[in-house]
Amino acid sequence: MSGGAAGTLNDHRAERGAFVRQLLEAVGIQPAHGPQDGPYVWERPAPADPDIPPRPVLLLRAVAKRQRWHAEYAAAQLAANGSPPDQ
């Protein structure tokens, strides 16, 4: 993948995130968690790191987070124009 394509994808992600945040704010929904909660430092954990939950727990948390984001977005769409978002 070239640097230009990655830049385009990163730009799209940033624009999409900004759009969703603006929509949530416009209808008075405060996201449970957002980019302003950072900054973050990402590092690879050691295999025996006691602070890292088991993989199934991490996956379930990720699924729950995605469902929460989807519900917030659907509520914002409904509040903004009276119709749920397209699937």
- With bands split at pLDDT 50, 70 and 90, how would you rate the model's confidence at 1? very low
- Could you tell me the residue ranges of all domains in the chain? 3-81
CA 71, CA 63: separation in Å to the nearest integer? 12
At 51-85, the pLDDT tens digits run 888 889 999 999 999 999 899 888 888 888 876 66
Q: Residue 24: CB partners within 8 Å, gap ≥ 6?
A: 30, 31, 72, 73, 76
Identify the residue with better confidence: 40 or 10: 10
Could you give the CA distance from residue 19 to residue 57 in angstroms, rounded to a whole number?
30
> How far is 5 from 8, CA to CA, in rounded Å?
5
